[in-house]
Amino acid sequence: MQKADTLQTIELSEGVEIHLRVAGPVPRALAYLIDVTHIILYYILIGIILGFVILPTLGPRVFGGLMLICIFFMNWFYFVFYEVGKKGATPGKRRMGLRVARPSGAPVSWSQAIVRNFLRMIDFLPAGYGVGLVTCLCTKRFQRLGDLAADTVVIYAAPERGQAALSFTPVSGMEGSGRAPGYALNREEQLALALFAERVPRFSPSRSEELATHASELTTSRGKEAVRELVGIARWIQESKSQ
């Protein structure tokens, strides 16, 4: 299934490259089917609760009206609610190891999640996500119309089994033990640090120091010492992952 997917190399504004494995139509379709199953189960659960609480007291009209409201919000906001969450994925996407992100790998915003999901109805046309499938197959990052409009991608949340996620070659002249960062770093920040540490030998000293300056919140110094601190933090992350 992953053979049809692509590994995208993206250069951030700081000059650091990150690698994202973009998910193709097959795992996305399986994730969608899992989510549809969840939605149906939610409908059944809501129907049972409203049937016991509302139907005997307020009658079938109120029961029917509340069911329609629940169906409306479930259809339009189920995916939005989960995709702006901490994991950036619906239960179906989490089951398939996927998440929704910006092309840089960063989490999506509320506006992006709303745009990509409100255009889902167009992607569904004429039936069975025909438009969305054609668009996915015609774009480099497997983006449907909703993704193109919202500038989002669906990527694998974790590296392939056996793939080193945060490894790098030690930098010559900067050996030594790593040090913990001053605050918790998310996965994208950890990966950016590992890639920076790996590429320091390829950069000129001035370029390395310039890039290290962008991480002023993480380091307490400037110039060559800032580069050394970033490499030390990257080494600490690598050591902690290997324990």
pLDDT greater than 90 at residue 53:
no
The whole model's pTM is what?
0.63
Report residue 88 as tokens.
């950036």
The mean per-residue pLDDT over the stretch 3-21 comes to 58
CA–CA separation, 58 and 71 (whole Å): 19
Name the least confident of 26-35, 71-80, 184-193: 184-193
Instruction: State the pLDDT at residue 241.
Output: 60
pLDDT greater than 60 at residue 190:
yes
Query: What average pLDDT does the chain have?
Result: 79
51 versus 178: the higher-pLDDT residue is 51
Instruction: State the pLDDT at residue 91.
Output: 94
Instruction: State the pLDDT at residue 31.
Output: 94
Q: 126-152, pLDDT tens digit by residue?
A: 888 899 999 999 988 899 999 999 999
pLDDT greater than 80 at residue 113:
yes
Task: Read off the pLDDT band of 243 (50, 70, 90).
Answer: low
Residue 14: Cβ-neighbour burial (10 angstroms; 0-12, 13-18, 19+):
middle
Q: What is the 3-state secondary structure (H, E, C) of 146-211?
A: HHHHHCCEEEECCCCCCCCCCCCCCCCCCCCCCCCCCCCCCHHHHHHHHHHHHHHHHCCHHHHHHH
CA 193 to chain centre: 18
Q: How far, in Å, are 16, 26, 94, 204, 205 from residue 231 at the CA level?
A: 14, 39, 32, 15, 14
pLDDT greater than 60 at residue 201:
yes
Task: Read off the pLDDT band of 16 (50, 70, 90).
Answer: low
Task: Read off the pLDDT band of 85 (50, 70, 90).
Answer: confident
- 160 backbone dihedrals φ, ψ, rounded to 5°: -65, 150
- Specify which residues 10 forms β-bridges with: 18
The angle at the Cα of 158, spanning 154 to 161, to the nearest 5 degrees, equals: 125
Task: Read off the pLDDT band of 105 (50, 70, 90).
Answer: confident
Task: Read off the pLDDT band of 11 (50, 70, 90).
Answer: low
The owner of tokens 């500038």 is 151
Instruction: State the pLDDT at residue 84.
Output: 92
15 versus 239: the higher-pLDDT residue is 239
DSSP tag of 5: -
